[in-house]
Amino acid sequence: MFAARRTLQATRGYATSTSVQVPLVLHGIDGRYATALYTAAAKKQALDAVEADLKQVKRIVEKDTKLREYLENPTINRLEKKAGVNQLLAAGKYNELTKNFFDTLAENGRLYDTVKIINSYGSLMGAHRGEVQVTITSAKELDAKETAKIKGFLAKSAFVTPKQTLIVSNKVNPTILGGLIVEFGDKTIDLSVSTKISKLNHLIQEGI
């Protein structure tokens, strides 16, 4: 079972684990809990099963506003929350690791971080599969041909290895006026018109 002490040890010392190599370093409380769960699931060869469980829980939580408010309400007793979560998980065929992990979240008063932790676990699984999330911000929606062209350029760049797979999404923001902002991993390529104008204005002001 996930005991609180073991969870904290896993979140602090995953890098020293002799059997599990975590594919991505995450920070914050949600990152630590997600990393601890990933480590435990990897040891049990249950990464995919736990991911499927978490996706199901996230769908339920996002669909049921009252349930989300219940999980995020700090005034509700931890034991009461634990019983409520156990009842939720009992309704489905969830992996034992998933059940024990949510027990730990309830005991540690961290159920309000449920969605954040699930998202962090998803990031770990994406890195595990070699996926690189790419967000392309444009002034207007890109068509399939434009998106494929940018994806092809990035795939051939030094920023991406042959084993990685680009998962591209397009975000529309008219305020950039034109051009593109490409974000992937911890890198940002800003080719927006608004940024170029801002730099030009700065140069003009410096010259006055």
Site of tokens 């009252």: 66
**Mean pLDDT, residues 19-41 taken together:** 92
Q: What is the mean pLDDT of the chain?
A: 85
What count of Cα atoms within 13 Å lies in the side-chain half-sphere of residue 189? 13
Segment 71-82, tens digit of pLDDT: 888 888 888 888
154 within 8 A of 184, measured Cβ to Cβ: yes
- Helix axes of 78-90 and 96-107: crossing angle, nearest 10 degrees: 160
In angstroms, the CA 33 to CA 110 distance is 10
**Mean pLDDT, residues 21-47 taken together:** 94
pLDDT at residue number 208 = 53
Segment 159-187, tens digit of pLDDT: 788 888 898 999 999 999 999 999 987 78
pLDDT at residue number 207 = 65
Q: Does domain 4-127 have CATH number 1.10.520.20?
A: yes
Other residues' Cβ atoms within 10 Å of the Cβ of residue 201: 10
Domain spans in the chain, listed from the N-terminal domain onward? 4-127, 130-207
pTM of the model: 0.70
Segment 81-97, tens digit of pLDDT: 888 888 888 888 899 99
Alpha helices in the chain (DSSP H): 4-13, 28-43, 47-63, 65-72, 78-90, 96-107, 114-128, 144-155, 193-207
pLDDT at residue number 15 = 39
Do the bridges between strand 165-172 and strand 131-138 make them parallel or antiparallel, or are there none, so unpaired?
parallel
